[in-house]
Structure 1
């Protein structure tokens, strides 16, 4: 009689078990890459550290690059989840947002290495991931967020939309990158760097004049909505990497071993890509999902001419 059980080494058919094993693999990969770098970490190393066969890893990800894409995406989701939580307790101005992003990014070593282009940690992965382009989603999402702040007096009025984005990205990246170039005696602590960055962002982008209580609440809501969209995008990208494809499951809450903040996992269907996420993708807006047209069922249309009454006469 034919055996229908799963073959040894295949990912578990149960979605929760499969996801748990994927996270165990990622946990092992995180520790290894932080100790010996991406270039020095092999699939064999990860399998041995996880206690599974090498082939099992390839049943989750086709290549080592895809595995590390999942690793970076998971950490990015954790970072954004914490930024969103802390934003609930902050005024939600653009300066506050920059400070929170910097503070949490500095706590995430792989995300930090990705943003700063640290090849000592991520090696060849950094060199492969650079595409030099800015997506339309980044322009629309981040631009729309800044427009909402400007409408409520949260941004200077003498800056064009393009100048706002340029200033924001320059402050964020400038502080993070330049601090690494300074002598050690001149490098501030991570906490102080986040404070300086937030202050510079406020001085560069905010008008300086106080806003009304209603406008302050609207600015805070706009920041939270922006972070919600960034979280949604981060979840979708992680689900692609984890192979979660059930569009009917939301909020499964499954987390990997030793992982906090990996977040509620909303599924996604798109084919995995190899592009590694970084903080530049925070401006991704919620995708528009067209509503399918509905029509009453009828007989199928055939490519056959139906004769009229006058054509029935021989």
Structure 2
């Protein structure tokens, strides 16, 4: 084993520990809420000691920041992957909606945790400030993704990409919450289907009204 490999092992173990702590935090926050969850609850679920937690994070809020970064990065990567090749589709707007709806079924738990933390932040100014910074980073990245996709597909946006990004985020989060209220996770209930149909219809109407053919495009 090389010196580089030996030196890399502690970093790899620490990265694995952080990932397991984030997984445990996501499950714990979803089950009992951010405010109610304790460091002990998170450690117990992940099989860690308090020392392992504090070697990676100073506070629950710092852990939530890392969780926000991880979950939003995953969602954006998933969206970027789903939007690849749209320029070859006859109806890229419809295909984009169908692909993204299918991909984003997995982020339901995160939307609930994020929403619950937002409620917590309304009573804690420092948390609110941090959440605004995280949200702006997400908004900027989604705006860039929309602009790149529109250029590649050959469509013109009839409203600024940053405004479209805000509407898409608000629509998706709101519908997911409505879906949860209408049925339990994975239930396949009429409430779940109605919420999915609502999001599909709303996104199609939004994107069709917000885009038009670009005369300079070859597609």
**Coarse TM-score class (shorter-chain normalised):** 0.5 to 0.7
Per the alignment, in what secondary structure is the counterpart of residue 155 of structure 1?
Answer: strand
Distance 1:69 1:211, change over 3 A: same
Does residue 44 of the first structure (1) align with residue 40 of the second (2)?
yes
Residue matched to 2:14: 18
For 2:109 and 2:122, locate their aligned partners in 1 and report how far apart those are by CA, in whole Å.
Answer: 11
Per the alignment, in what secondary structure is the counterpart of residue 41 of structure 1?
Answer: coil
Distance 1:139 1:112, change over 3 A: closer
Per the alignment, in what secondary structure is the counterpart of residue 163 of structure 2?
Answer: helix
- Could you tell me whether the CA contact under 8 Å between 1:155 and 1:206 is conserved in 2? yes
- Could you tell me whether the CA contact under 8 Å between 2:86 and 2:95 is conserved in 1? yes
Deviations 1:98-117 (A, max 9, x none): 66555544421343236xx6
TM-score when scaled to structure 2?
0.64
Q: 1:178 deviation in Å? A: 6.2
Bigger relative CO (Cα 8 Å, ≥ 6 apart): 1
Give the structure with the higher percent helix. 2
- Could you tell me whether the CA contact under 8 Å between 2:28 and 2:37 is conserved in 1? yes
For 1:113 and 1:211, locate their aligned partners in 2 and report how far apart those are by CA, in whole Å.
Answer: 42
Does residue 202 of the first structure (1) align with residue 198 of the second (2)?
no
For 1:71 and 1:197, locate their aligned partners in 2 and report how far apart those are by CA, in whole Å.
Answer: 29
Residue matched to 2:107: 108
CA RMSD of aligned residues (A): 4.3
Alignment of 1:1-314 (within 5 A): 14-91=10-87, 93=92, 97=96, 100-101=99-100, 103-113=102-112, 118-119=115-116, 124-125=120-121, 128-129=127-128, 130-131=131-132, 142=143, 146=147, 149=150, 153-155=154-156, 159=158, 162=160, 164-174=161-171, 176-177=173-174, 180=177, 184=182, 188-189=193-194, 191-207=196-212, 209=213, 215-216=218-219
Name the larger-Rg structure. 1
TM-score when scaled to structure 1?
0.48
Residue matched to 2:185: none
- Could you tell me whether the CA contact under 8 Å between 2:40 and 2:50 is conserved in 1? yes
Per the alignment, in what secondary structure is the counterpart of residue 156 of structure 2?
Answer: coil
For 2:135 and 2:42, locate their aligned partners in 1 and report how far apart those are by CA, in whole Å.
Answer: 33
**Which residues of structure 2 form unaligned runs of 5+?**
1-7, 183-189
- Could you tell me whether the CA contact under 8 Å between 1:28 and 1:50 is conserved in 2? yes
Distance 1:96 1:133, change over 3 A: same
Aligned residues: 196
Distance 1:86 1:51, change over 3 A: same
Deviations 1:145-165 (A, max 9, x none): 538836975025xx4x64x54
**Which residues of structure 1 form unaligned runs of 5+?**
1-11, 217-314
